Structure 1
Amino acid sequence: MRNIPLATLWIIFISAVDSSALTVFQSPVAFSQDGVVSLICNYNYSFNVTFRTEFRATLLKGQISNNNIVCSFTYNASVQELTSRSHGFHCHGRPTSHNISISLINLSTNDTDMYFCKIEKMYPAPYYNFTGSGTYIHVLAALTVFQSPVAFSQDGVVSLMCNYSYSFNITFRTEFRATLLKGQISNNNIVCSFTYNASVQELTSRSHGFHCHGRPTSHNISISLINLSTNDTDMYFCKIEKIYPTPYYNFTGSGTYIHVLAEKPCVDFWWIIIAASIAAFFVLYSLIITVGYVICIYEKMQKQNAASPSLDIKPPADSNSEYMPMKAVWNGAPH
Protein backbone atom coordinates (compact mmCIF):
# COMPACT_ATOMS: atom_id res chain seq x y z
CA MET A 1 0.00 0.00 0.00
CA ARG A 2 2.90 2.31 0.71
CA ASN A 3 4.03 2.08 -2.91
CA ILE A 4 0.63 3.33 -4.29
CA PRO A 5 0.63 7.11 -4.84
CA LEU A 6 -1.83 9.13 -2.86
CA ALA A 7 -3.29 10.69 -6.06
CA THR A 8 -4.12 7.27 -7.42
CA LEU A 9 -5.94 6.30 -4.22
CA TRP A 10 -7.88 9.55 -4.37
CA ILE A 11 -9.00 8.87 -7.98
CA ILE A 12 -10.10 5.34 -7.04
CA PHE A 13 -12.05 6.71 -4.08
CA ILE A 14 -13.75 9.40 -6.14
CA SER A 15 -14.66 6.87 -8.84
CA ALA A 16 -16.24 4.60 -6.24
CA VAL A 17 -18.20 7.49 -4.80
CA ASP A 18 -19.25 8.68 -8.27
CA SER A 19 -20.48 5.27 -9.31
CA SER A 20 -22.70 4.93 -6.25
CA ALA A 21 -23.88 8.54 -6.10
CA LEU A 22 -25.79 8.34 -9.41
CA THR A 23 -27.21 5.30 -11.22
CA VAL A 24 -29.33 5.03 -14.38
CA PHE A 25 -31.84 2.34 -15.33
CA GLN A 26 -33.40 1.66 -18.76
CA SER A 27 -35.82 -0.89 -20.15
CA PRO A 28 -33.98 -3.33 -22.42
CA VAL A 29 -36.34 -3.04 -25.44
CA ALA A 30 -38.80 -0.53 -26.88
CA PHE A 31 -40.88 -0.64 -30.07
CA SER A 32 -42.10 2.06 -32.40
CA GLN A 33 -44.77 1.33 -35.00
CA ASP A 34 -45.77 4.84 -36.04
CA GLY A 35 -42.36 6.52 -36.02
CA VAL A 36 -42.70 7.64 -32.38
CA VAL A 37 -41.24 6.05 -29.26
CA SER A 38 -40.93 7.12 -25.62
CA LEU A 39 -37.83 6.12 -23.68
CA ILE A 40 -37.81 6.46 -19.88
CA CYS A 41 -34.42 7.22 -18.35
CA ASN A 42 -34.79 6.44 -14.63
CA TYR A 43 -32.04 7.50 -12.21
CA ASN A 44 -31.31 7.37 -8.50
CA TYR A 45 -28.89 9.56 -6.55
CA SER A 46 -27.53 9.77 -3.03
CA PHE A 47 -26.92 13.51 -2.92
CA ASN A 48 -29.28 16.30 -1.98
CA VAL A 49 -31.23 18.01 -4.72
CA THR A 50 -32.66 21.53 -4.63
CA PHE A 51 -34.46 23.70 -7.18
CA ARG A 52 -31.08 24.96 -8.31
CA THR A 53 -29.60 21.51 -8.95
CA GLU A 54 -28.98 21.09 -12.66
CA PHE A 55 -28.97 17.86 -14.60
CA ARG A 56 -28.09 17.07 -18.19
CA ALA A 57 -29.73 14.12 -19.99
CA THR A 58 -28.05 12.97 -23.20
CA LEU A 59 -29.34 10.24 -25.48
CA LEU A 60 -26.63 8.36 -27.38
CA LYS A 61 -27.16 6.08 -30.38
CA GLY A 62 -25.06 3.04 -31.24
CA GLN A 63 -21.79 2.36 -29.49
CA ILE A 64 -21.12 4.63 -26.56
CA SER A 65 -17.54 5.17 -27.65
CA ASN A 66 -18.75 6.81 -30.86
CA ASN A 67 -20.50 9.52 -28.81
CA ASN A 68 -23.27 9.72 -31.42
CA ILE A 69 -25.56 12.23 -29.73
CA VAL A 70 -29.26 12.07 -30.58
CA CYS A 71 -30.41 14.88 -28.31
CA SER A 72 -29.41 16.55 -25.04
CA PHE A 73 -31.35 18.47 -22.38
CA THR A 74 -30.16 20.58 -19.42
CA TYR A 75 -32.79 21.17 -16.73
CA ASN A 76 -33.58 21.63 -13.06
CA ALA A 77 -36.62 21.02 -10.90
CA SER A 78 -38.49 24.01 -12.34
CA VAL A 79 -38.42 22.73 -15.94
CA GLN A 80 -41.39 20.70 -17.13
CA GLU A 81 -40.95 20.31 -20.90
CA LEU A 82 -38.01 20.37 -23.27
CA THR A 83 -37.69 20.21 -27.07
CA SER A 84 -34.69 19.53 -29.23
CA ARG A 85 -34.28 19.45 -33.02
CA SER A 86 -30.71 18.53 -33.70
CA HIS A 87 -28.52 15.76 -35.09
CA GLY A 88 -31.34 14.84 -37.47
CA PHE A 89 -33.74 13.90 -34.65
CA HIS A 90 -36.80 15.52 -33.16
CA CYS A 91 -36.86 14.94 -29.39
CA HIS A 92 -39.30 15.94 -26.67
CA GLY A 93 -38.39 15.64 -22.96
CA ARG A 94 -40.43 15.63 -19.75
CA PRO A 95 -38.23 15.57 -16.62
CA THR A 96 -39.24 14.68 -13.06
CA SER A 97 -37.21 14.36 -9.89
CA HIS A 98 -36.05 10.80 -10.69
CA ASN A 99 -36.44 10.31 -14.44
CA ILE A 100 -36.80 11.96 -17.78
CA SER A 101 -39.11 10.70 -20.52
CA ILE A 102 -37.60 11.29 -23.96
CA SER A 103 -39.90 10.96 -26.96
CA LEU A 104 -38.35 10.46 -30.38
CA ILE A 105 -40.49 11.57 -33.32
CA ASN A 106 -40.41 10.79 -37.05
CA LEU A 107 -38.24 7.71 -36.71
CA SER A 108 -37.64 5.41 -39.65
CA THR A 109 -36.63 1.77 -39.81
CA ASN A 110 -33.02 2.94 -40.30
CA ASP A 111 -33.12 4.35 -36.75
CA THR A 112 -33.41 0.87 -35.21
CA ASP A 113 -30.42 0.65 -32.85
CA MET A 114 -29.20 0.72 -29.23
CA TYR A 115 -29.90 3.95 -27.36
CA PHE A 116 -28.12 4.89 -24.11
CA CYS A 117 -29.25 7.36 -21.46
CA LYS A 118 -26.43 9.39 -19.97
CA ILE A 119 -27.35 11.46 -16.88
CA GLU A 120 -25.00 14.12 -15.50
CA LYS A 121 -25.30 16.19 -12.35
CA MET A 122 -23.89 19.52 -13.55
CA TYR A 123 -24.47 21.95 -10.66
CA PRO A 124 -23.51 22.39 -7.89
CA ALA A 125 -20.24 20.52 -7.52
CA PRO A 126 -19.24 17.76 -7.26
CA TYR A 127 -19.92 16.53 -10.79
CA TYR A 128 -21.44 13.06 -11.25
CA ASN A 129 -22.40 11.07 -14.35
CA PHE A 130 -23.71 7.63 -15.20
CA THR A 131 -24.70 5.90 -18.43
CA GLY A 132 -27.45 3.29 -18.55
CA SER A 133 -27.12 -0.19 -19.98
CA GLY A 134 -29.02 0.80 -23.12
CA THR A 135 -32.41 0.22 -24.74
CA TYR A 136 -32.79 -1.50 -28.08
CA ILE A 137 -35.36 0.56 -29.99
CA HIS A 138 -36.93 -1.41 -32.82
CA VAL A 139 -38.63 0.93 -35.27
CA LEU A 140 -41.35 -0.94 -37.12
CA ALA A 141 -42.35 0.40 -40.51
CA ALA A 142 -45.41 2.65 -40.25
CA LEU A 143 -45.94 2.03 -43.97
CA THR A 144 -45.06 -1.16 -45.84
CA VAL A 145 -45.44 -2.04 -49.53
CA PHE A 146 -45.92 -5.49 -51.08
CA GLN A 147 -45.51 -6.46 -54.75
CA SER A 148 -45.76 -9.69 -56.70
CA PRO A 149 -42.30 -10.84 -57.81
CA VAL A 150 -43.10 -11.38 -61.53
CA ALA A 151 -45.60 -10.13 -64.11
CA PHE A 152 -45.96 -10.85 -67.83
CA SER A 153 -47.20 -8.79 -70.77
CA GLN A 154 -47.97 -10.38 -74.14
CA ASP A 155 -49.94 -7.58 -75.78
CA GLY A 156 -47.94 -4.58 -74.56
CA VAL A 157 -50.19 -4.08 -71.52
CA VAL A 158 -49.56 -5.13 -67.93
CA SER A 159 -51.24 -4.37 -64.59
CA LEU A 160 -49.03 -4.01 -61.51
CA MET A 161 -50.66 -4.12 -58.07
CA CYS A 162 -48.94 -2.03 -55.38
CA ASN A 163 -50.39 -3.22 -52.04
CA TYR A 164 -49.59 -1.30 -48.86
CA SER A 165 -50.47 -1.39 -45.18
CA TYR A 166 -50.08 1.32 -42.55
CA SER A 167 -50.40 1.79 -38.80
CA PHE A 168 -51.65 5.39 -38.83
CA ASN A 169 -55.18 6.71 -39.16
CA ILE A 170 -56.36 8.08 -42.49
CA THR A 171 -59.21 10.40 -43.46
CA PHE A 172 -60.60 11.69 -46.74
CA ARG A 173 -57.93 14.41 -46.61
CA THR A 174 -55.00 12.00 -46.22
CA GLU A 175 -52.87 12.25 -49.34
CA PHE A 176 -50.68 9.53 -50.79
CA ARG A 177 -48.21 9.59 -53.64
CA ALA A 178 -47.52 6.43 -55.65
CA THR A 179 -44.40 6.43 -57.81
CA LEU A 180 -43.35 3.63 -60.14
CA LEU A 181 -39.58 3.33 -60.60
CA LYS A 182 -37.80 1.35 -63.30
CA GLY A 183 -34.42 -0.34 -62.95
CA GLN A 184 -32.19 0.34 -59.96
CA ILE A 185 -33.85 2.41 -57.23
CA SER A 186 -30.74 4.58 -56.86
CA ASN A 187 -31.17 5.79 -60.47
CA ASN A 188 -34.59 7.26 -59.59
CA ASN A 189 -35.86 6.44 -63.09
CA ILE A 190 -39.50 7.49 -62.72
CA VAL A 191 -42.06 5.77 -64.94
CA CYS A 192 -45.13 7.56 -63.59
CA SER A 193 -46.35 9.20 -60.40
CA PHE A 194 -49.82 9.78 -58.93
CA THR A 195 -50.98 11.90 -55.98
CA TYR A 196 -54.39 11.00 -54.59
CA ASN A 197 -56.70 10.75 -51.57
CA ALA A 198 -59.76 8.68 -50.74
CA SER A 199 -61.99 10.66 -53.15
CA VAL A 200 -59.94 9.84 -56.26
CA GLN A 201 -60.98 6.79 -58.31
CA GLU A 202 -58.96 6.97 -61.54
CA LEU A 203 -55.68 8.56 -62.58
CA THR A 204 -53.87 8.91 -65.90
CA SER A 205 -50.28 9.84 -66.64
CA ARG A 206 -48.43 10.30 -69.93
CA SER A 207 -44.84 11.13 -69.07
CA HIS A 208 -41.31 9.79 -69.21
CA GLY A 209 -42.24 7.90 -72.39
CA PHE A 210 -44.86 5.74 -70.64
CA HIS A 211 -48.65 5.69 -70.65
CA CYS A 212 -49.94 4.80 -67.17
CA HIS A 213 -53.41 4.36 -65.74
CA GLY A 214 -54.01 4.14 -61.97
CA ARG A 215 -56.90 2.92 -59.83
CA PRO A 216 -56.34 3.58 -56.11
CA THR A 217 -58.15 2.10 -53.12
CA SER A 218 -57.58 2.43 -49.38
CA HIS A 219 -54.81 -0.20 -49.32
CA ASN A 220 -53.49 -0.50 -52.87
CA ILE A 221 -53.17 1.10 -56.25
CA SER A 222 -53.38 -0.81 -59.54
CA ILE A 223 -51.06 0.69 -62.15
CA SER A 224 -51.58 -0.36 -65.78
CA LEU A 225 -48.75 0.21 -68.24
CA ILE A 226 -49.78 0.49 -71.91
CA ASN A 227 -47.88 0.16 -75.20
CA LEU A 228 -44.89 -1.64 -73.71
CA SER A 229 -42.18 -3.16 -75.88
CA THR A 230 -39.63 -5.89 -75.21
CA ASN A 231 -37.10 -3.15 -74.33
CA ASP A 232 -39.24 -2.28 -71.32
CA THR A 233 -38.54 -5.66 -69.66
CA ASP A 234 -37.00 -4.71 -66.30
CA MET A 235 -37.52 -4.45 -62.53
CA TYR A 236 -40.26 -2.04 -61.44
CA PHE A 237 -40.55 -0.72 -57.87
CA CYS A 238 -43.62 0.75 -56.15
CA LYS A 239 -42.81 3.67 -53.86
CA ILE A 240 -45.69 4.80 -51.63
CA GLU A 241 -45.51 8.08 -49.69
CA LYS A 242 -47.89 9.51 -47.13
CA ILE A 243 -47.41 13.22 -47.78
CA TYR A 244 -50.29 14.84 -45.87
CA PRO A 245 -50.82 15.39 -43.01
CA THR A 246 -47.55 15.11 -41.13
CA PRO A 247 -45.67 13.03 -40.19
CA TYR A 248 -44.30 12.00 -43.56
CA TYR A 249 -43.79 8.28 -44.27
CA ASN A 250 -42.49 6.42 -47.27
CA PHE A 251 -41.70 2.86 -48.23
CA THR A 252 -40.49 1.18 -51.43
CA GLY A 253 -41.49 -2.34 -52.33
CA SER A 254 -39.15 -5.20 -53.17
CA GLY A 255 -39.85 -4.87 -56.91
CA THR A 256 -41.68 -6.74 -59.67
CA TYR A 257 -39.89 -8.15 -62.71
CA ILE A 258 -42.08 -7.30 -65.70
CA HIS A 259 -41.33 -9.51 -68.69
CA VAL A 260 -42.70 -8.03 -71.91
CA LEU A 261 -43.11 -10.88 -74.41
CA ALA A 262 -42.58 -10.26 -78.12
CA GLU A 263 -45.79 -9.76 -80.06
CA LYS A 264 -46.71 -12.46 -82.60
CA PRO A 265 -46.61 -11.32 -86.26
CA CYS A 266 -50.04 -10.12 -87.28
CA VAL A 267 -51.46 -11.12 -90.72
CA ASP A 268 -53.65 -8.57 -92.47
CA PHE A 269 -57.28 -9.54 -92.04
CA TRP A 270 -58.17 -8.57 -95.62
CA TRP A 271 -55.55 -10.90 -97.03
CA ILE A 272 -57.15 -13.71 -95.07
CA ILE A 273 -60.56 -12.86 -96.59
CA ILE A 274 -59.13 -12.71 -100.13
CA ALA A 275 -57.30 -16.04 -99.76
CA ALA A 276 -60.41 -17.70 -98.32
CA SER A 277 -62.55 -16.31 -101.17
CA ILE A 278 -60.16 -17.61 -103.85
CA ALA A 279 -60.04 -21.05 -102.23
CA ALA A 280 -63.85 -21.15 -102.00
CA PHE A 281 -64.14 -20.15 -105.68
CA PHE A 282 -61.87 -22.96 -106.82
CA VAL A 283 -63.68 -25.50 -104.65
CA LEU A 284 -67.06 -24.41 -106.03
CA TYR A 285 -65.72 -24.39 -109.60
CA SER A 286 -64.35 -27.91 -109.22
CA LEU A 287 -67.64 -29.10 -107.78
CA ILE A 288 -69.64 -27.61 -110.69
CA ILE A 289 -67.32 -29.15 -113.29
CA THR A 290 -67.51 -32.55 -111.59
CA VAL A 291 -71.32 -32.51 -111.38
CA GLY A 292 -71.63 -31.35 -114.99
CA TYR A 293 -69.34 -34.09 -116.20
CA VAL A 294 -71.31 -36.77 -114.34
CA ILE A 295 -74.61 -35.48 -115.79
CA CYS A 296 -73.16 -35.42 -119.30
CA ILE A 297 -71.93 -39.01 -119.09
CA TYR A 298 -75.29 -40.15 -117.74
CA GLU A 299 -77.24 -38.50 -120.55
CA LYS A 300 -74.91 -39.95 -123.18
CA MET A 301 -75.44 -43.46 -121.87
CA GLN A 302 -79.21 -42.96 -121.90
CA LYS A 303 -79.12 -41.91 -125.58
CA GLN A 304 -77.02 -44.93 -126.57
CA ASN A 305 -79.46 -47.33 -124.91
CA ALA A 306 -82.40 -45.72 -126.68
CA ALA A 307 -80.82 -46.05 -130.20
CA SER A 308 -79.92 -49.82 -129.95
CA PRO A 309 -82.61 -52.44 -131.61
CA SER A 310 -84.19 -54.89 -129.27
CA LEU A 311 -83.57 -58.66 -129.95
CA ASP A 312 -86.63 -61.07 -129.99
CA ILE A 313 -85.19 -64.58 -130.09
CA LYS A 314 -87.69 -67.37 -130.80
CA PRO A 315 -86.82 -71.05 -130.76
CA PRO A 316 -87.07 -73.02 -134.13
CA ALA A 317 -90.33 -74.78 -134.89
CA ASP A 318 -88.82 -78.26 -135.07
CA SER A 319 -86.78 -78.05 -132.02
CA ASN A 320 -87.24 -80.68 -129.46
CA SER A 321 -88.73 -78.79 -126.66
CA GLU A 322 -90.84 -79.70 -123.77
CA TYR A 323 -93.29 -77.10 -124.92
CA MET A 324 -93.78 -78.81 -128.33
CA PRO A 325 -95.47 -82.22 -129.19
CA MET A 326 -92.96 -84.94 -129.43
CA LYS A 327 -92.75 -87.04 -132.65
CA ALA A 328 -93.35 -90.76 -132.43
CA VAL A 329 -90.24 -92.65 -131.89
CA TRP A 330 -89.93 -96.27 -133.22
CA ASN A 331 -88.74 -98.54 -130.58
CA GLY A 332 -88.18 -101.66 -132.90
CA ALA A 333 -91.49 -103.49 -132.18
CA PRO A 334 -93.73 -104.58 -135.09
CA HIS A 335 -96.95 -102.78 -135.71
Structure 2
Amino acid sequence: MHTVIFYYIFLRMVCSEEIIQPKFIVATEHAEAALECIYALEGKHKHVTLDVLKGPDPFCAPVSVRQIENGSVFNSSVGFKHCEGMHKGDRVIFKLSNLQEKDTDMYYCQLNIMYPPPFRNPKGNGTLIIFQTKNNSTETPHSPTSDSRFWILNAVIAVLTLYGVIVSLLLYITCYKIRQNKLIQNDYMNMKPRGLKNNKQPGVLHPSRNGRY
Protein backbone atom coordinates (compact mmCIF):
# COMPACT_ATOMS: atom_id res chain seq x y z
CA MET A 1 0.00 0.00 0.00
CA HIS A 2 2.81 2.40 0.88
CA THR A 3 4.55 1.52 -2.38
CA VAL A 4 1.43 2.38 -4.38
CA ILE A 5 1.08 5.71 -2.59
CA PHE A 6 4.76 6.50 -3.18
CA TYR A 7 4.50 5.77 -6.92
CA TYR A 8 1.29 7.81 -7.12
CA ILE A 9 2.98 10.80 -5.51
CA PHE A 10 6.08 10.33 -7.67
CA LEU A 11 4.10 10.16 -10.92
CA ARG A 12 2.05 13.20 -9.94
CA MET A 13 5.19 15.18 -9.20
CA VAL A 14 6.81 14.17 -12.49
CA CYS A 15 3.73 14.80 -14.62
CA SER A 16 3.16 18.21 -13.03
CA GLU A 17 6.53 19.51 -14.26
CA GLU A 18 6.44 21.13 -17.65
CA ILE A 19 8.63 23.51 -19.67
CA ILE A 20 7.44 25.51 -22.66
CA GLN A 21 9.78 27.35 -25.01
CA PRO A 22 9.48 28.77 -28.56
CA LYS A 23 10.42 26.66 -31.56
CA PHE A 24 12.85 29.15 -33.09
CA ILE A 25 14.27 32.65 -32.58
CA VAL A 26 16.14 34.89 -35.03
CA ALA A 27 18.88 36.94 -33.40
CA THR A 28 18.65 40.71 -33.76
CA GLU A 29 21.07 42.80 -35.78
CA HIS A 30 22.88 43.54 -32.50
CA ALA A 31 23.67 39.81 -32.10
CA GLU A 32 21.19 39.37 -29.24
CA ALA A 33 18.37 36.93 -28.58
CA ALA A 34 15.83 36.57 -25.75
CA LEU A 35 14.98 32.98 -24.83
CA GLU A 36 11.80 32.65 -22.77
CA CYS A 37 11.50 29.55 -20.59
CA ILE A 38 8.02 29.03 -19.12
CA TYR A 39 7.89 26.47 -16.31
CA ALA A 40 5.04 24.89 -14.37
CA LEU A 41 5.65 23.43 -10.92
CA GLU A 42 3.03 21.98 -8.60
CA GLY A 43 3.67 21.26 -4.96
CA LYS A 44 6.32 22.55 -2.61
CA HIS A 45 9.69 22.54 -4.29
CA LYS A 46 12.36 24.00 -2.04
CA HIS A 47 15.39 23.80 -4.28
CA VAL A 48 14.89 24.24 -8.02
CA THR A 49 17.21 25.74 -10.60
CA LEU A 50 16.67 26.54 -14.26
CA ASP A 51 19.44 26.73 -16.82
CA VAL A 52 19.98 26.75 -20.58
CA LEU A 53 21.81 24.12 -22.61
CA LYS A 54 23.36 24.69 -26.00
CA GLY A 55 22.98 21.23 -27.44
CA PRO A 56 24.21 18.93 -24.67
CA ASP A 57 26.48 21.55 -23.07
CA PRO A 58 25.57 24.21 -20.48
CA PHE A 59 25.36 27.71 -21.93
CA CYS A 60 23.93 29.72 -19.04
CA ALA A 61 24.67 29.29 -15.35
CA PRO A 62 21.76 27.89 -13.32
CA VAL A 63 19.20 30.33 -11.98
CA SER A 64 17.59 29.44 -8.63
CA VAL A 65 13.81 29.25 -8.63
CA ARG A 66 12.51 28.53 -5.12
CA GLN A 67 8.79 27.93 -4.87
CA ILE A 68 7.47 28.36 -1.34
CA GLU A 69 3.75 27.71 -1.00
CA ASN A 70 2.11 30.10 -3.51
CA GLY A 71 5.08 32.40 -4.04
CA SER A 72 8.40 32.06 -5.76
CA VAL A 73 11.76 33.62 -5.08
CA PHE A 74 14.21 34.32 -7.88
CA ASN A 75 17.90 34.57 -7.20
CA SER A 76 19.90 36.29 -9.90
CA SER A 77 22.90 33.98 -9.89
CA VAL A 78 23.75 33.91 -13.57
CA GLY A 79 27.52 34.11 -13.79
CA PHE A 80 28.08 33.63 -17.52
CA LYS A 81 29.42 36.64 -19.39
CA HIS A 82 27.03 36.62 -22.36
CA CYS A 83 23.90 35.32 -20.63
CA GLU A 84 21.65 37.17 -18.20
CA GLY A 85 18.47 35.83 -16.60
CA MET A 86 15.38 37.80 -15.62
CA HIS A 87 12.35 36.47 -13.75
CA LYS A 88 8.81 37.39 -14.75
CA GLY A 89 6.03 35.48 -13.03
CA ASP A 90 6.08 31.86 -14.17
CA ARG A 91 8.94 32.29 -16.62
CA VAL A 92 12.61 33.11 -16.83
CA ILE A 93 13.87 35.16 -19.76
CA PHE A 94 17.48 34.59 -20.70
CA LYS A 95 19.07 37.39 -22.68
CA LEU A 96 21.87 36.05 -24.88
CA SER A 97 24.33 38.59 -26.24
CA ASN A 98 27.43 38.73 -28.46
CA LEU A 99 26.15 35.85 -30.57
CA GLN A 100 28.16 34.67 -33.54
CA GLU A 101 27.39 32.56 -36.57
CA LYS A 102 28.77 29.49 -34.82
CA ASP A 103 26.17 30.00 -32.05
CA THR A 104 23.33 28.94 -34.36
CA ASP A 105 22.15 25.82 -32.54
CA MET A 106 19.38 24.20 -30.50
CA TYR A 107 18.97 25.65 -27.00
CA TYR A 108 17.10 23.78 -24.26
CA CYS A 109 15.51 25.12 -21.08
CA GLN A 110 16.11 22.65 -18.26
CA LEU A 111 14.74 22.45 -14.73
CA ASN A 112 16.88 20.89 -12.02
CA ILE A 113 14.65 19.80 -9.14
CA MET A 114 17.02 18.90 -6.33
CA TYR A 115 14.72 18.93 -3.32
CA PRO A 116 12.51 17.21 -2.41
CA PRO A 117 13.96 13.98 -3.82
CA PRO A 118 14.14 12.25 -6.18
CA PHE A 119 16.35 14.47 -8.35
CA ARG A 120 14.71 15.32 -11.67
CA ASN A 121 15.78 17.49 -14.61
CA PRO A 122 12.96 17.81 -17.16
CA LYS A 123 13.92 19.57 -20.35
CA GLY A 124 11.96 21.55 -22.96
CA ASN A 125 11.59 20.61 -26.61
CA GLY A 126 14.32 23.05 -27.64
CA THR A 127 14.55 26.38 -29.44
CA LEU A 128 16.51 26.91 -32.64
CA ILE A 129 18.34 30.24 -32.35
CA ILE A 130 19.45 31.50 -35.77
CA PHE A 131 22.19 34.07 -36.17
CA GLN A 132 22.33 35.84 -39.53
CA THR A 133 25.44 37.68 -40.66
CA LYS A 134 25.06 41.28 -41.82
CA ASN A 135 25.34 41.92 -45.53
CA ASN A 136 27.84 44.54 -46.58
CA SER A 137 25.98 47.77 -47.39
CA THR A 138 28.07 48.26 -50.55
CA GLU A 139 26.97 44.91 -51.93
CA THR A 140 23.61 44.52 -53.53
CA PRO A 141 21.88 41.42 -52.27
CA HIS A 142 20.79 38.99 -54.95
CA SER A 143 17.47 37.35 -54.43
CA PRO A 144 16.80 33.87 -55.84
CA THR A 145 13.55 35.15 -57.38
CA SER A 146 15.28 37.82 -59.47
CA ASP A 147 17.94 35.33 -60.61
CA SER A 148 15.31 32.82 -61.69
CA ARG A 149 13.38 35.49 -63.57
CA PHE A 150 16.60 36.58 -65.33
CA TRP A 151 17.35 33.05 -66.52
CA ILE A 152 13.74 32.46 -67.58
CA LEU A 153 13.77 35.68 -69.61
CA ASN A 154 17.04 34.68 -71.28
CA ALA A 155 15.63 31.24 -72.10
CA VAL A 156 12.48 32.76 -73.64
CA ILE A 157 14.55 35.17 -75.76
CA ALA A 158 16.79 32.31 -76.93
CA VAL A 159 13.79 30.16 -77.90
CA LEU A 160 12.12 33.02 -79.78
CA THR A 161 15.37 33.81 -81.61
CA LEU A 162 15.84 30.18 -82.63
CA TYR A 163 12.21 29.99 -83.75
CA GLY A 164 12.64 33.13 -85.88
CA VAL A 165 15.78 31.73 -87.52
CA ILE A 166 14.06 28.43 -88.34
CA VAL A 167 10.97 30.16 -89.78
CA SER A 168 13.13 32.51 -91.87
CA LEU A 169 15.13 29.56 -93.21
CA LEU A 170 11.98 27.64 -94.14
CA LEU A 171 10.52 30.69 -95.89
CA TYR A 172 13.73 31.19 -97.85
CA ILE A 173 13.79 27.54 -98.95
CA THR A 174 10.12 27.68 -99.96
CA CYS A 175 10.59 30.90 -101.96
CA TYR A 176 13.67 29.45 -103.65
CA LYS A 177 11.77 26.34 -104.72
CA ILE A 178 8.84 28.39 -106.04
CA ARG A 179 11.23 30.60 -108.00
CA GLN A 180 12.99 27.60 -109.49
CA ASN A 181 9.68 26.07 -110.54
CA LYS A 182 8.64 29.31 -112.25
CA LEU A 183 11.93 29.48 -114.14
CA ILE A 184 11.51 25.92 -115.35
CA GLN A 185 7.95 26.62 -116.50
CA ASN A 186 9.05 29.79 -118.36
CA ASP A 187 11.84 27.93 -120.09
CA TYR A 188 9.41 25.24 -121.13
CA MET A 189 6.91 27.75 -122.52
CA ASN A 190 9.61 29.65 -124.42
CA MET A 191 10.98 26.59 -126.13
CA LYS A 192 10.26 26.44 -129.97
CA PRO A 193 8.19 23.41 -130.81
CA ARG A 194 10.02 21.00 -133.03
CA GLY A 195 8.21 20.60 -136.38
CA LEU A 196 7.44 17.19 -137.72
CA LYS A 197 9.63 16.09 -140.66
CA ASN A 198 7.88 16.15 -144.08
CA ASN A 199 8.03 12.50 -144.82
CA LYS A 200 4.97 12.45 -147.08
CA GLN A 201 5.55 10.44 -150.31
CA PRO A 202 3.90 11.71 -153.52
CA GLY A 203 0.73 9.78 -154.03
CA VAL A 204 -0.45 8.06 -157.21
CA LEU A 205 -1.83 10.52 -159.68
CA HIS A 206 -5.26 10.02 -161.05
CA PRO A 207 -5.22 8.84 -164.67
CA SER A 208 -7.19 11.82 -165.77
CA ARG A 209 -4.57 14.01 -164.21
CA ASN A 210 -1.79 12.17 -165.98
CA GLY A 211 -3.25 13.04 -169.38
CA ARG A 212 -3.75 9.43 -170.34
CA TYR A 213 -7.40 9.86 -170.82
Please give the TM-score of this superposition, normalised by the length of structure 1.
0.34
Question: In 2, Cα distance between the equivalents of 1:45 and 1:56?
Answer: 12
Q: 1:32 to 1:24 in 2, by over 3 A?
A: same
What displacement does 1:10 show? 9.2
Q: Aligned pairs, how many?
A: 132
The correspondence for 2:22, drawn from 21, 27, 52, is 27
2-structure distance, mates of 1:11, 1:61: 35
Residue 105 of structure 1 is matched in structure 2 by: 97
- Return the alpha-carbon distance in structure 1 between the equivalents of residues 77 and 94 of structure 2: 9
* Equivalent of 1:74 in 52, 63, 69: 63
CA distance in 1, matches of 2:88, 2:41: 13
After TM superposition, list the pairs within 5 Å mapping 1:28-107 onto structure 2. 28-33=23-28, 34-48=30-44, 53-62=46-55, 67-75=56-64, 76=66, 77-79=72-74, 81-85=76-80, 90-107=82-99
SS state at 2:14 partner: helix
Looking at structure 2, the residues matched to 123 and 97 of structure 1 have their Cα atoms a distance apart, in angstroms, of 21
Give the distance between the partners of 1:81 and 1:120, measured in 2 at CA.
Answer: 16
Please tell me whether residue 144 in structure 1 is matched to residue 144 in structure 2.
no
Task: Please tell me the residue identity of whatever aligns with 1:136.
Answer: L
Higher helix content, 1 or 2: 2
Aligned to 1:122: 114
Greater RCO (Cα-Cα under 8 Å, separation 6 or more): 2
Distance in 1 of aligned mates of 2:139 and 2:8: 59
The corresponding residue for 2:172 is none
Counting aligned pairs with the same residue, the percent is 23
What's the CA shift for 1:18?
A: 4.1
Question: Residues 50 and 62 of structure 2 are in contact (CA less than 8 Å); yes or no, is this contact kept in structure 1?
Answer: yes
> Residues 110 and 14 from structure 1, CA distance in 2 versus in 1: closer, same or farther, beyond 3 angstroms?
farther
Give the direction of change, closer, same or farther, for the CA distance of 1:144–1:14 in structure 2 (3 Å limit). farther
CA distance in 1, matches of 2:63, 2:20: 19
Distance in 1 between the 2:42 and 2:118 partners? 12
Counterpart contact for 1:43–1:99, Cα < 8 Å: yes
* Structure 2: gaps of 5 or more residues: 67-71, 141-213
C-alpha RMSD of the superposition:
3.1
Contact kept in structure 2, 1:117 and 1:131, CA below 8 Å = yes
